[in-house]
Structure formats: C-alpha cells, structure tokens
C-alpha cells in the first residue's frame, strides 16, 4: 500500500491574527464575497481532516467564522508565535499526545486540500518525527538567492538537516566567486543537486505542541528568524515531503491579495463556492 492509500485521523488548526503590518485586518479581506479566513477553512474542509478549527484572538474573526458555519476558538492575544497559539488549541481541544494537528496558515486561501492530506500522512508514516512539512525544487536562481525564500536540506531519510534563508546547499564549484546577492541579470547556474524551497505547511504531534512553549528560543532560530529551528535545536526531527510543484500563492501584501483575488475569479469552482 502506498502512502496515498491509507487514511489518517487529523485536525486542521488555522491561526488567524488581525495584526499585520503589511495588510491590516488580513483574515477579513474579501475574496469572492467571503472573508479570507473562511475561504481557507473551506479549503481545509475539503481535505480529509476530521475537524477544522480557526484559532483567533479577535472577536471579529470569530464572528465572521460563526456567520459561515466555521468552528473557531478564542486564544490568548500574547502568543509570541503561531506554534504557541497551536499549543494552546491542542490543550483547549483536549487532543491526545499522539493526535496529528496540521497547521494551515490563515493567508492561504488557494491551498490544495490534497497537500494538507499528504503532510498529515507523511507525519503518520514517520513515527520518529514530531513534525512534518513540505518542500519543492526551485528552478529560478533568483529564488535560490532570495532571503525571503526559505530553503531546506535533508538527510538520506528525507528528514530536515537545516533550514536557511541563505542558498543551501552551496554549490562550491558552480558558484565560486558569486556574490551573496547576485544582480538579477547575472548568469548564475543552478547546482546539480536540487535546491528545495520550504513550504510553510506543518503537521505536528499534539504532545510536541504542548512542549513547544517550554523550549528555550534557539540562537539559530533568532539568527535566521525561523521558528522551526527551535525544534531542531532541541533535538526534534522534521520529516520533509518533497513535491514537484510549487503551491498556490498566499497573501502577505496588498499586491498578493489582488493577485489571489484574480486567480480565484479565474479558477474552476472551489470548495464552498
């Protein structure tokens, strides 16, 4: 039986905060007549998840979810990270330590339900790991050198060795003399070994989520501004599902929002439309 053939019991949690420096009130932004957070939840409902829950600290987000029949729970407003918010939800929902929780970002209204399922199955298939995530090969050298594009390298078993904003692995021979930020017009070859872009979709075991807030922040996490490095710093393993295609774009800025609105209007019927 292949990995795609077995079912996994899991819960999707969608953290949603109103505070956003680049796009205020982002979860409530309209996409095709519904708030973005509702569109994300509809995509999660189309997955095989047993339950989909929005975790928010804003009454307006909770009310928007209630209006559209989406389950939401109120969480504290002082969480430092989205993972801390998930830890609170794991306790609020009384999830068993072995329960699988998939963290779907609240700004991914075009996320593929099949990818949500695949990451949950990937964690279930790797009992030695507390976390699973996804990645895809990069084909543009500009993305390899872009610090806003997070890269990951894996071991022979497909577990993460490191995440970085820097180009990793560094192609010593191909990139000898290449500056850390080459000009857009520079002719820089891609290395023979694929460079993997990290996709910000995670599956966790609930027991790990409850431990996460007790873990001290890691120097590498603070240097790279990547909170998954905290888990690795403290010895946790992360299984990485490598997909061929890049996921649909998310929403970080007003320009992203307009792009996603256009894609939504042009796409075939979406779940919940």
CATH code for residues 10-246: 3.90.550.10
Interval 54-99: pLDDT, tens: 999 999 999 999 999 999 999 998 888 888 899 999 999 999 999 9
State the helix-helix crossing angle for 113-124 and 36-45, rounded to 10 degrees: 60
In this prediction, residue 118 carries a pLDDT of 97
What is the residue whose two structure tokens read 């994300």? 40
pTM: 0.92
Residue 5 has pLDDT above 70, yes or no: no
Strand partners, 162: 153
Q: How far apart are CA 45 and CA 62, in angstroms?
A: 17
In this prediction, residue 177 carries a pLDDT of 79
Q: How far apart are CA 118 and CA 185, in angstroms?
A: 37
Query: Which three-class secondary structure state does DSSP give residue 141?
Result: helix
In this prediction, residue 191 carries a pLDDT of 83
Interval 148-171: pLDDT, tens: 999 999 999 999 999 999 999 998
- CB atoms closer than 10 angstroms to residue 160: 25
- Lowest mean per-residue pLDDT among 69-78, 185-194, 255-264: 185-194
In this prediction, residue 219 carries a pLDDT of 97
135 compared with 271, residue with greater pLDDT:
135
Q: Which H or E run includes 259?
A: helix 254-266
| Domain segments of the chain as ranges | 10-246
- Length of the chain equals 273
């Amino acid at each position: 039986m292949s990995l795609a053939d077995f079912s996994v019991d899991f819960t999707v949690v969608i953290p949603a905060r109103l505070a956003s420096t680049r796009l205020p009130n982002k979860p409530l932004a309209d996409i095709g007549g519904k708030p973005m957070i509702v569109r994300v939840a509809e995509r999660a409902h189309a997955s095989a998840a047993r339950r989909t829950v929005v975790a928010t600290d804003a009454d307006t987000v909770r009310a928007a979810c209630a209006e559209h029949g989406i389950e939401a729970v109120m969480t504290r407003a002082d969480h430092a990270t989205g993972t801390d918010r998930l830890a609170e939800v794991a306790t609020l929902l009384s999830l068993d330590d072995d329960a699988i929780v998939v963290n779907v970002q609240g700004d991914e209204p075009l996320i593929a339900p099949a990818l949500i399922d695949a990451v949950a199955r990937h964690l279930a298939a790797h009992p030695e790991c507390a976390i699973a995530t996804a990645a895809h090969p990069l084909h543009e050298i500009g993305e390899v050198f872009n610090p806003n594009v997070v890269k990951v390298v894996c071991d022979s078993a497909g577990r993460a060795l490191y995440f970085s904003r820097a180009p990793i692995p560094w192609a010593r021979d191909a990139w000898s003399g290449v500056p850390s930020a080459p000009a857009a017009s520079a002719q820089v070859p891609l290395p023979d070994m694929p460079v993997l872009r990290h996709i910000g979709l995670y599956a966790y075991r609930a027991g790990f989520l409850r431990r996460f807030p007790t873990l001290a922040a890691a120097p590498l996490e603070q240097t790279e501004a990547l909170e998954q490095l905290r888990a690795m710093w403290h010895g946790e393993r992360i299984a990485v599902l490598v997909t061929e295609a890049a996921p649909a774009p998310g929403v970080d800025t007003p320009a992203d929002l307009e792009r996603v609105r256009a894609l939504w209007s042009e796409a075939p019927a979406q779940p919940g439309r």
